[in-house]
Every structure is written in C-alpha cells, then in structure tokens.
A and B are shown apart, each in its own frame.
Chain A
C-alpha cells in the first residue's frame, strides 16, 4: 500500500456484458478522507463497478487501483484495507450471527472483538440469533458489523442503508462519521439522493454504464432546483415572488402559484411569511434533474 496514492483510482475501467450492459470507460479518483456517493438507477452499473474494485469481476479493459495497488493483481493485499458490504446480502441459513462474525473475522484476522461489540450495541443487534431468524434489516446490520469490524481505511458499501429504519440509518451515518474522523475514506452506492446529500462530499451519477456527471455535493446543493406549489387564501404576492433571485414562476392561476427554486428556499419562505398560505408542496428533483440543473447553472 502506498500512502501517497488515492484510495480509489480507475482508468477507463470497463466491463462489457454485451447489449449495452456493464460499465464503460470509467475514470474516477477518490481522495483520502472523502465520502463519495456513486449514484444511479438500478442496472446502471454501480454493483459491477464495485465488484471490479473488489477483484470479484475482471475488467474487460482498463484498470482499477486501490491505494496504488492493482485490484486484480494485488487483490489480497488490497482487501486488507477494505471493508465491504455487498448489495445483495449473503445467506448463512442456520448459522448464528456470532458464528458468521467469528468465521469472517477468522478469515480476515486482526479483528478486535471489542469493535464488534461496539457496533453490535450501536445497532442493538443480537448476535445470538440464527441468520435465518433475522429480518432484512438485521441482516443488513450484521453485514455492516462485518464491513466495519476491522476498522478499514477504505469502505466500499453497496446500498448500505437498504432495509434500515431511520433510527438505524442515523446510527449508520454516525458510524461513517467515526470512520472519516479516523482518516478512512468511503465509496458508497445509492439511488437515494437525500442519503447522498447527508453523507457525501462528492457524488458521481452513472447511467446506462457511463459516468454522466461528477460534482461536489456543496455545489450540487447550491444548484439544486425544486418545484414548489403554493396555494394562497387570497391573491398571491406574485410580483414579489418573481423578483426573487433564483425563482422562476412556471404557472400562476388564481390563488395557486407553481414555481421553480434554485438553491436555498429561504428567500421564498421570507416572502411567504407575509402572505396567507393555505398549502405548500415541494417536489424533490430526481437525481438526473439535480445534476442537469447543476450543469445548466
């Protein structure tokens, strides 16, 4: 492992399954201490990319490096530094959670049982139950225990909050925060924009196997457009709304106004404070809309 090399660097990384399926010519560099969100709809190529980084799937062409080590050639050394959570959970049938952890810790070596205990307590996960008895959420928690138990320098997490309730999602965010605080980097895939917004420093969007956008989250937030529908009790203050910076009125019919807001919604809320608002609905943009508005800005 070379300390001066980025946690993840891919060069024209390609896996071609035919018929346009796979991932194509992916160029990506993740910085140390960064939380990177890899976004895209189902089947976009997120899991294929992750499996190539883990050395499970061989690229058709191009290469991927982790801390300067080739993901295929040096895959054993690479995995010493990685904590991995697969997108599709494995099945362990009648094994107890404690046995699954012990077995995988035995394969990995150097796992502190105290760390296992801390993560299991954080998620209130009972390792004494059989895997078969676990709900989907508990299986996800067990997978998180396995991914974090050896305090890895890089976490590769495929849809990490799938099946977790909001309380446990919060616990997961804190766990990621703790990992970042000790200098780790995180690469996570998701199709939930709000989750990426909360956690990530930078995000890339992949569609039909190609990276179509890459942006820091701070800029993305500033450029984010959302649609707002407001119904007033009386005549709307339409001119004051029109005068706001970053607000475009799309439709104004009677007491109803529909507008698009770029960036913060605070100026609009200030204007509305003086009016009698009956109803207010905001529509979150889709991932692609968010990125498109970012690029059009």
Chain B
C-alpha cells in the first residue's frame, strides 16, 4: 500500500525529470551531428574546439574526452549535465517525502495506520530508486534514439552502465537529502538546507576538477559519479565508486531512519528551545502587515532576500568565468557565432548579455513560478477565502498580486544587477554601464509578462497553473538556447517568451518585444481580473 502511495506521490517528478533528461539526450545527439558534421575531419576540428572550451568549464562540467565521437561528446555534455537534473529531482522528492507529506498530515495518518517509521522511510527510498531506474532507462533509450536518428551509434553496454551510475547517484543524493531534511521543520526549509548541502558537494566536485579541494573531493557523490565513463573507448563503470554511491545511500537511509525515530513528528531533529515567554494577546504592531502590497512583500521578505542572494551569487560565479570565456571565444569561432547569434559586435557586451541575461531570465522566471505557486496555495489553503471575507473587492487581489510581483522582481533585479555590474567591472570587462542598467531594468517587464500568463492560468485551472507556466518557461528557455545551435527559423524562435527580451546589451532595447510584452500584460491581467470577478472561490 505504502509503495503504491509513494509511487503516486513521485509521478510528477518522474515525468518532469525524464522529459527534461530525455529531451536533452535527443537534442544533444542531434546537435552534435548538426554542428560537428559526419566526417572525421570536421569532428576532429570540432573536438579540438570543444576540448578547449571544456577545460575552461570544469567548474560546471566534467573534463571532456574523445569529443570527436558522439559517445565521448554525450559522456561529457549530456551525462555530465544530468547529475544536476537528477540531483534537483532527488532533493525535491526527499524534501517532499520527509517534510512535505509530514506538513500535510499524511505521515501522521500513515503512522497511525500501523506503519513503522523505518518502513515508511525505507519504502520511500525504494520507490525513488525504482522511479530513478525507470527515468534513467527512458533517458538512455531516448539518447540512443537521438543518436540513431542523427545517423550515429552508441555502445549499448556502455549506455546501460551509464544508466546504473545515474541511478546510483540519484539514490545517493536522495538519501543525503533525506538525512539533511530531518533537521528542518517545513518542506520549504528542508529543500533550502538540502539544496545548500548538495550544492556544496556539487561545487566541491567542480573545484576538484580544477585542482582544488582534492582532499575532500571523494566525499562528493558527483565526483564519484564521474569516475565512471562507460561510453568512451577504454572507459568503464567504476565498481568502487558505484558501490560507494549505493553504500552512502544505505548509510544515509539508515541515518535518516534513526533521526526520524528519535524526533517528534512535525519537529526538527535538533533539540528545541522551550519558550517561557508570556502569552501574547495583541495583534502584531508591524504596520507593514496592514498596508496593501507592502503586506505581500512583508510575507515574502525572507524569500526575497534568499532569491536576491541566489541570483547575485550565480551572477558573480558566472561573471568570474567570463574573462576565460571571452578569451576562448576569440580562439574558437563556433562560440563567437553562438554568442553573437550569427552577427558581429562587442564580444564583452555579448558575453555579459548572454550569460547575465539568460541566467537572470531563468532565475527570475523561477521566481515567477514560485509566486504563481503561492497564488494557487492561497486558494487551496483557504487564505484567499479569508481575505475575501473582508470588505475588499476581488480586483484588489489581482492588482496586489501584480504590484507585489513587480516590486519583488524590481528588488531582485536591482540588488543582483548592482552586484553583478560591480563584479563585471572588477573583472576588467568593458561594458557600457547605462546599457547594462537598461538591460537589467528590461528584465522586469518580462517577469511581469510571465506573471500575467500565470494569472490567466490561475483563473482558468488553479491546480495546473504552476505546471503549465513551468512548461511555457522551460520551452522558452530551450528554444532560446537551442535556436543558434540548430538554426531554428523565426517562427519557432518567436515562440520563446525570452525572445521578447532580445539582446539589449548588444543591440539596445527590443521595442517591438517590449510592446508585445505590454500587450500580453494588459490582456493577461485584464483576463485575470475578469475571471477573478466571475469565478467561484473554492478549495
């Protein structure tokens, strides 16, 4: 029974992760054939350029090898990226199993039905392992299909071995996250702490590739995963590292079981301070809770600080790679073509625009998804019903959401752009400050555009809104990223919302795109206002 419930709980993550990973496999296989060509000479030339790039990107990806073959390229570019995708899935699944279901009261019910705590956690780990196996199998199958479609071939045994390594890494990350989340109280904090720990382990592996943290690198599951390189000639599945990953998964599960058994349901594994404060009978005096819009910002103050730190850190990290990337672009024509999108211009501005623009857009879009998820939760958790029991018109809810989203996004953009702008100048890159400020400011309308689409979806299908908006944003990101590589025509490129942002650092503001954004915002929020005024508020 528990296994069936756990399987149902994990379906969403399975579908999303497998879709992303399988799509990546097909896209990378086809992309390789499209860019590297089919002759040994073109592939050798491509490999020479990619190895140069790869050596400079070891912070993010494994060291490339045998990139002149499709197997070597996929080992590096596809299976080197997947640890991030599967790591995020493992983290979210573990936080949901350990804390989300507990928060919703499900765990209490299951335990009351006679299930032991140990059996509960072990069955969740077992089901995740099963789901990860299914996902890895589908991903490997899709990758095989992609290479066959491109007229190439992959060693089947190597692909199976790669799948095993991927499953081992996923289960290991899941177990580590399961242990860490025992120290949190809510699903959200659990995901935050888990992300910090797994992120640190990922960075240790990245640093070890460049000669740092070598002493502790073997403690990172991501480093262990990279010991296996079964796709390339002479490479194989490293049994020691796979055993290590499964061993840590077992130890982690056991540790999580012990911590879960020792703590109270709904509490952290850390000892809790007993409050001896006198009871409070008065409403909070904070004026910010009583003001329209400001109350919405007050509600998400901690989250906004976390988002701005994350966005700034990402900006600084990517900024630190820029000088190397620009130096490389001067040596590797293909990168220049991709970054300048076939045109010509200032390489510094093009790189800052491509790296800062696209990563900021992705992070800010995730912020919009989080906001839309909060709007959906307001309704499903009864807060909207309570707000509407006060004498306020329904349209005020929609307007406050727009205003809160705009203020929040502006705050994030302001903080992150100041930090990233300063870091960029410190790197010695020549970027026009006014253009950089304008390019950063133009991120805000795009965030509000995504919010307008989210507002329409919330009015139409509140429960599906988050998934649908996520789909729109992921599709927009992939279309934007893959368009230069595959030479997509304008029709497909214009399907990406991010295309509306343009390349403001390079070409100035995209006025046409801005006008379309304003139109989407007006129509979207107009529709949301109409829908909010007409529909039933239900839970």
- Interface residue ranges, A against B (CB under 8 Å): 51, 54-58, 76-80, 82, 84, 86, 88-94, 96-99, 101-109, 111, 113, 116-117, 120-121, 124-129, 132, 146
- Give Cα A104–Cα B393 distance, bound, in whole angstroms: 14
Chain B residues with CB under 8 Å of A54's CB are 388-389
Q: Flag if A86 contacts B385 (CB, 8 Å).
A: yes
Complex partner residue of A57 from B290, B383, B386, B538, CB under 8 angstroms: B538
Other A-B contacts than A94-B186, A99-B289, A125-B279, 6 sampled, CB-CB below 8 A, are A56-B388, A80-B391, A102-B284, A102-B290, A107-B387, A127-B281
Q: A56-B385, A86-B386, A106-B290 are in contact. Are A77 and B538 (CB under 8 A)?
A: no
Q: Flag if B286 contacts A132 (CB, 8 Å).
A: no
Q: Flag if A90 contacts B281 (CB, 8 Å).
A: no
Complex partner residue of B280 from A92, A93, A126, CB under 8 angstroms: A126
Q: Flag if B186 contacts A132 (CB, 8 Å).
A: yes
Q: A89-B382, A102-B290, A106-B291 are in contact. Are A96 and B390 (CB under 8 A)?
A: no
Chain A residues with CB under 8 Å of B386's CB are 86, 90, 104, 146
Q: A58-B536, A76-B392, A93-B186 are in contact. Are A102 and B286 (CB under 8 A)?
A: yes
Query: B490 an interface residue at 8 Å Cβ cutoff?
Result: no
Query: B381 an interface residue at 8 Å Cβ cutoff?
Result: yes
Q: Flag if A84 contacts B280 (CB, 8 Å).
A: no
For this complex, 23 residue pairs linking A to B, each with C-beta atoms less than 8 Å apart, are A51-B536, A54-B389, A56-B537, A58-B536, A76-B393, A79-B389, A86-B382, A90-B383, A90-B385, A91-B382, A96-B284, A98-B280, A98-B282, A98-B283, A98-B284, A99-B289, A102-B283, A106-B289, A108-B390, A120-B281, A121-B281, A125-B279, A127-B282
Query: B1 an interface residue at 8 Å Cβ cutoff?
Result: no
Chain A residues with CB under 8 Å of B285's CB are 102
Complex partner residue of A113 from B277, B283, B385, B534, CB under 8 angstroms: B283
Chain A residues with CB under 8 Å of B185's CB are 132
Chain B residues with CB under 8 Å of A76's CB are 391-393
- The residue of chain B having its C-beta at the shortest distance from the C-beta of A94 within the complex is B186
Q: Flag if B383 contacts A91 (CB, 8 Å).
A: yes
Q: Flag if B536 contacts A108 (CB, 8 Å).
A: no
Complex partner residue of B289 from A79, A80, A102, CB under 8 angstroms: A102
Nearest CB on A from B105, distance (A): 10
Chain B residues with CB under 8 Å of A129's CB are 275
Query: B539 an interface residue at 8 Å Cβ cutoff?
Result: yes
- Give Cα A84–Cα B280 distance, bound, in whole angstroms: 23
Q: Flag if B186 contacts A82 (CB, 8 Å).
A: no
> Which secondary structure dominates where chain B touches chain A?
loop
Chain A residues with CB under 8 Å of B382's CB are 86, 88-91
Q: Flag if B286 contacts A99 (CB, 8 Å).
A: yes
Q: A86-B386, A91-B383 are in contact. Are A116 and B282 (CB under 8 A)?
A: yes
Q: Flag if A57 contacts B536 (CB, 8 Å).
A: yes
Which residue among B277, B280, B534, B539 has the maximum number of chain A CB atoms within 10 Å of its CB? B280
Q: Flag if B283 contacts A55 (CB, 8 Å).
A: no
Q: Flag if A88 contacts B539 (CB, 8 Å).
A: yes
Chain A residues with CB under 8 Å of B295's CB are 103, 106
Q: Flag if A58 contacts B534 (CB, 8 Å).
A: yes
Nearest CB on A from B360, distance (A): 28
Nearest CB on A from B240, distance (A): 44
Closest A-B pairs by Cβ, 6 of them: A106-B290, A90-B382, A128-B280, A126-B279, A107-B390, A91-B381
Chain B residues with CB under 8 Å of A96's CB are 280, 284
Chain A residues with CB under 8 Å of B385's CB are 56, 86, 90
Q: Flag if B389 contacts A84 (CB, 8 Å).
A: yes
Complex partner residue of B383 from A56, A92, A109, A127, CB under 8 angstroms: A92
Complex partner residue of A105 from B275, B281, B290, CB under 8 angstroms: B290
- Give Cα A286–Cα B82 distance, bound, in whole angstroms: 62
Chain B residues with CB under 8 Å of A126's CB are 279-281
Nearest CB on B from A243, distance (A): 53
Interface residues of B in 195-211 (CB under 8 A from A): none
Chain B residues with CB under 8 Å of A51's CB are 536-538
Q: Flag if A108 contacts B284 (CB, 8 Å).
A: no
Q: Flag if B289 contacts A127 (CB, 8 Å).
A: no
- Give Cα A98–Cα B281 distance, bound, in whole angstroms: 8
- Give Cα A146–Cα B386 distance, bound, in whole angstroms: 9
- Give Cα A113–Cα B283 distance, bound, in whole angstroms: 7
Nearest CB on B from A252, distance (A): 46
- Give Cα A49–Cα B189 distance, bound, in whole angstroms: 39
- Give Cα A97–Cα B280 distance, bound, in whole angstroms: 9
Chain B residues with CB under 8 Å of A82's CB are 389
- Give Cα A177–Cα B219 distance, bound, in whole angstroms: 67
Q: Flag if A101 contacts B284 (CB, 8 Å).
A: yes
Chain B residues with CB under 8 Å of A99's CB are 284, 286, 289
- Give Cα A129–Cα B284 distance, bound, in whole angstroms: 12
Complex partner residue of A103 from B277, B289, B392, B393, CB under 8 angstroms: B289
- Give Cα A120–Cα B381 distance, bound, in whole angstroms: 24
- The residue of chain A having its C-beta at the shortest distance from the C-beta of B296 within the complex is A103
Chain B residues with CB under 8 Å of A58's CB are 534, 536
Nearest CB on A from B46, distance (A): 52
Nearest CB on B from A170, distance (A): 19
Nearest CB on A from B45, distance (A): 56
Nearest CB on B from A73, distance (A): 11
- Give Cα A141–Cα B266 distance, bound, in whole angstroms: 21
Q: Flag if A57 contacts B537 (CB, 8 Å).
A: yes
- The residue of chain A having its C-beta at the shortest distance from the C-beta of B377 within the complex is A91
Nearest CB on B from A113, distance (A): 6
Q: Flag if B289 contacts A55 (CB, 8 Å).
A: no
Q: Flag if B280 contacts A127 (CB, 8 Å).
A: yes
Chain A residues with CB under 8 Å of B281's CB are 116-117, 120-121, 125-127
- The residue of chain B having its C-beta at the shortest distance from the C-beta of A85 within the complex is B389
Nearest CB on B from A43, distance (A): 15
